[in-house]
Structure 1
Amino acid sequence: MPPTPGNKRPLPFIGNKLEIPKEKSWIAFRKWNEEYGPILTVWNGTTPTILIGDPEIAVELMEKRSTKYSSRPRFVVAGDLLTENRTILFAPYGERWRAYRKALHLATMPKSVDTYRPIMEMEGKVLANDILTNPSNWYTASSVVAIAYGRRVLDIHTDSAYQKLARNIDFLTSINVPGAQWHETFPALRFLPSFLNPIKKAAIGFREQGRQNLRSLVEEVRKKMQQGVAPHSYAKLLIENRDKYADLDEVEFNGQPGSLFGAGVDTTSATLQSLVLALVLHPEVQRKAHEELDRHVGSHRSPTWDDEDQLVYVQAIIKEILRWRPVAILGGTPHASTEDDIFEWEGKQYFIPKGAIILGNLWSIHMNPKTYESPEEFRPERFLGDRQYPGTGGKGHSSFGWGRRVCPGAYFAERSLYLTATRLLWAFNFSKATNPITGNEITPDASMEKGYTSGFNTRPHPFPCKIEVRNDAIRETVEREAKEALEDLRVFENYYD
């Protein structure tokens, strides 16, 4: 098998459990990859985890050999207890997983995503105006919820359905981290009664609350359809085509729009926060983007999808932010091998047993100097020209995963991120805030060690910055377009709480 870090013998029963940090394990994993090699074995209990720190190895195993590496390992808390493995994220490879993916394609295939283009553009215009009036209060939840359920999120703090969705996602991302739960090392812990088992009690509570909320949201869409006021949404399409998804029971069916929310809100929001952080720290990047946007878009309209081919530098910024500070820092949910395999790398043969966990540590992969020159630097210029990065499928990064378990909403995420990021770049200038007492500039911390959260998904800690509209002409355009968009979005404001 691939070597263990430092060639240490794992401890009986618990393996390397004591060496895996409970928080930000990806930092330790990167150090191990750099010190001991791009493919390692880490034991969490008696189950081996194959830790990958090289993009070409990730592609070789999880894409080229996808027939062997497309299942999921067992997750006791997130899988058995929280979701009962009845979601596309945790379902083992097989018929159930294919049924979930088939239903999700109704929202995530390119043709489907393109039908949501007007919603994305209108919500982006409203977001720009929200930042204009209150720069400290900006979020990106409304477009995903509108697409999933045909309802707008007017205020994330008071919308009860949104709050319940968000709390479930927060719980999931906090528990689904290697080394965070002893239940993954000793699965029998799940049999302890809830009054002796706080994490079990919490998981079951979130499961019941989540299913009730998802059922209510889908039922709300049904009521709107009966009254003829339901706008275009993923839930509406699912209901209209219910007979095509007869193999999904009600829990699974109601969970499909929730999967879209889980995949879209947290990741897009966190990526945009990292983008703003990078722009604050790299004003020269922002200036180049502004020059390109002024040249091709101007001040009297906001950017659209039709501008994408001309906004080469803006596209490079988006690729670089996905590489520089990936949200799914551990490469998403790990894969699992379904049969024994032999893998050769740099003249050495390694045995990978059936049932091994395959973890593509994105922090190691995106910071691999063999692939990216000066990987710690935020440098969009690396994506200009014809240079290709091996193991990235032409994208230049691996943020959406690999093989058959690649993020099914990748195209959806790319479209949403492009529209929102481009509009923010076009409309605003982001710079360092100043200390109100000393008058000194405040430089936010962008390091993964101190500047970012822990968990399955990671984002910057809140940081101060100054957000200013770039000129009066853009201000007028933002206000005009937002007013028009709000009129068109009124159809999404019928609620049945």
Structure 2
Amino acid sequence: MPDMVGLGALSVLDVTLAALGVALVSLILSGKRKGPLPPGPKGWPIIGNVLDMPSSYQWKTYTQWAEKWGDIISVTLLGQPIVVVSSLEHATELLERRSTLYSDRPILTVGGKIVGWDQIVVLTPYGPRFREARRLLSRWIGSRSSVARFAPMLQHETSKYLLDLRRSPEQFVNHIKKSAAAIILTMTYGYQIKGDKDPLIEIVDRAMAQFTVLTTPGTFLADIFPSLEHVPSWVPGTGWKQRALGARQDTDAMLDVPYSIVEKEMAAGTATPSFLSVNIEGNPDPTEEFQSTLKTTAGVLYAGGSDTTVSTLHSFFLAMACYPEIQKKAQQEIDAVIGNDRLPTLADQDSLPYVNAVCAELHRWNPVAPLGVTHRLVQDDVYAGYFFPKGTLITVNAWKILHDPETYKNPLDFNPGRFMGTEPETDPRPVAFGFGRRICPGLNFADASIFLSCAMMLAVFDVSKAVEYGRVIEPVVEYTSGQIRISKPSGPVQVFDQAPVCEG
């Protein structure tokens, strides 16, 4: 179960009384339901399924439950219903066709209200602020044509990444992080990173490091019992409040520091055109609300883009080491279409279908966010004979959908060929990037960035399993837990020059 110890418990008596109150209300309301919740593990009186909930790799447990009870199951945590959807059909019906009902986010007292992540688009409640932020993002990177204008910057930063990789290939993980940060910060703030320990990157990374724990529903008792927010911080068991207030400082710094940098550069006439500077110039007398929305929307570009890109490129290196025949096939396509006298560009994307298939398979093979981000129902709904009360949390088990053997043959294998030919398997990107009005607004930019990194890497380098003392070290396909996963550094890989990299 999620670690709730010391994270908001006032006393055993207080929590028990609160739980009894929630359970009583839940029982009263359940008597008025128009139908049952979906099946799932039975649970206990009052606490429901608190003891059944996994503390890590939740998608694996949810997949086991789906195999036992079906592709739409439910649990309750102290009266809070949670529905887990494990099929594309159910996810599409609820989150796409009924998006007006299912586009809200969970109300998180700690990670949202106190720490401030509810002001950032990914967790912003559905409403005017969310729609304005989406409008800004859609105008900036919402289509392939809008992303195309960033091609020179993407190609330049990726070329720098290749040079770093050639100089110190053993540091490929750090180079991935640096490159992803450079791309996002340039696009968002016109900011050029300063060395390997850039102060702005450190500020943002501190805030991002806490995101998963702070925003996982059920981690903090105060998310279930919001009144705990008002308990004085000197009361035993409220150490979580100091932690949350410290995290709030990191979140504020992530938003305020780069915004101030851009404002100063604009005043001095030295600002590089970016998402922030262009929108500030476009609103010479902005309201305080617009400034706040603009600041948090800029913040989500880094928060939503850097970690996901890093994770996907981790998977790329791991896959190329484990499947050398696939690497060779992709390189042969690049040689045939591009030749050896230049690097691939974004304009070549449609001419390299197999490389595109490699990128698509990266999203399916080990998805970055196997459970996406939880949705919240804004009013009662009835679906497939089940009754979902207002406030029900909806989680999509993207992992199971993308590993369903009925949809993907041998789903644990990395096989880009599954997306080629006359009968290609289902494109995983609509699942990997979310659903409905909450679909990732940066999907086209992410697609372009990942394609360029993979294509340019394949054109220049070979990736192989590491060899130590003459013995091949087999990589282990193992990932961390959390809302955003990354491959563990077990089983190293090696990167070798295939051809010279142009310094330009």
Paired with 2:289 and 2:298, the residues of 1 have a C-alpha distance of 13
Partner of 1:490: none
Q: Which blocks of at least 5 consecutive residues in structure 1 are unaligned?
A: 485-497
In structure 1, what residue type is equivalent to 2:484?
A: N
| Matches for 1:299-338 after TM superposition, within 5 Å | 299-331=340-372, 333-338=373-378
| Matches for 1:421-432 after TM superposition, within 5 Å | 421-432=454-465
1:454 aligns with 2:481: yes
Shift in alpha-carbon separation, 1:461–1:193, aligned structure 2, 3 A: farther
Secondary structure of the structure 2 residue equivalent to 1:369 = coil
Partner of 2:382: 342
1:163, CA displacement in angstroms? 0.6
Query: Highest relative contact order (Cα 8 Å, sep 6+), 1 or 2?
Result: 1
Paired with 1:341 and 1:12, the residues of 2 have a C-alpha distance of 25
Partner of 2:161: 127
* TM, length-normalised to structure 2: 0.86
Partner of 2:32: none
Paired with 1:217 and 1:30, the residues of 2 have a C-alpha distance of 41
Paired with 1:67 and 1:337, the residues of 2 have a C-alpha distance of 9
Please, which of 139, 142, 157 is the counterpart of residue 182 of structure 2?
A: 142
1:466 aligns with 2:474: no
Partner of 1:444: 475
1:365 aligns with 2:415: no
Partner of 2:387: 351
In structure 1, what residue type is equivalent to 2:473?
A: I
Secondary structure of the structure 2 residue equivalent to 1:68 = helix
Paired with 1:301 and 1:265, the residues of 2 have a C-alpha distance of 27
Partner of 1:27: 60
1:243, CA displacement in angstroms? 5.1
Shift in alpha-carbon separation, 1:49–1:367, aligned structure 2, 3 A: same
Please, which of 227, 247, 272 is the counterpart of residue 268 of structure 2?
A: 227
**8 Å Cα contact 1:108/1:411 also seen in 2:** yes
In structure 1, what residue type is equivalent to 2:106?
A: P
**8 Å Cα contact 1:340/1:351 also seen in 2:** yes
| Matches for 1:273-292 after TM superposition, within 5 Å | 273-292=314-333
Q: Which blocks of at least 5 consecutive residues in structure 2 are unaligned?
A: 1-35
Question: Share of identical aligned residues, percent?
Answer: 33
1:103, CA displacement in angstroms? 2.6
1:50, CA displacement in angstroms? 0.9
| Matches for 1:49-448 after TM superposition, within 5 Å | 49-83=82-116, 85-110=118-143, 111-137=145-171, 138-139=175-176, 140-156=180-196, 158-194=197-233, 196-242=237-283, 246=287, 248-331=289-372, 333-344=373-384, 349-387=385-423, 397-436=430-469, 439-446=470-477
**8 Å Cα contact 1:432/1:465 also seen in 2:** yes
1:467, CA displacement in angstroms? 0.3
Paired with 2:94 and 2:289, the residues of 1 have a C-alpha distance of 31
**8 Å Cα contact 2:72/2:83 also seen in 1:** yes
1:249, CA displacement in angstroms? 4.9
- Counting matched residue pairs gives 459
Paired with 2:461 and 2:77, the residues of 1 have a C-alpha distance of 47
Shift in alpha-carbon separation, 1:312–1:435, aligned structure 2, 3 A: same
Shift in alpha-carbon separation, 1:309–1:17, aligned structure 2, 3 A: same
Q: CA deviation digits over 1:423-466, x for unaligned, max 9?
A: 11221111111234xx32111211xxxx2111110000124111
**8 Å Cα contact 1:143/1:152 also seen in 2:** no
Q: CA deviation digits over 1:400-423, x for unaligned, max 9?
A: 100011111111111111111211
CA-atom RMSD in angstroms: 2.0
| Matches for 1:474-489 after TM superposition, within 5 Å | 474-475=499-500, 478=501, 480=502, 483-484=503-504
Secondary structure of the structure 2 residue equivalent to 1:364 = helix
Q: CA deviation digits over 1:215-241, x for unaligned, max 9?
A: 221221122223322212111112112
**8 Å Cα contact 2:254/2:299 also seen in 1:** no
Paired with 1:212 and 1:177, the residues of 2 have a C-alpha distance of 22
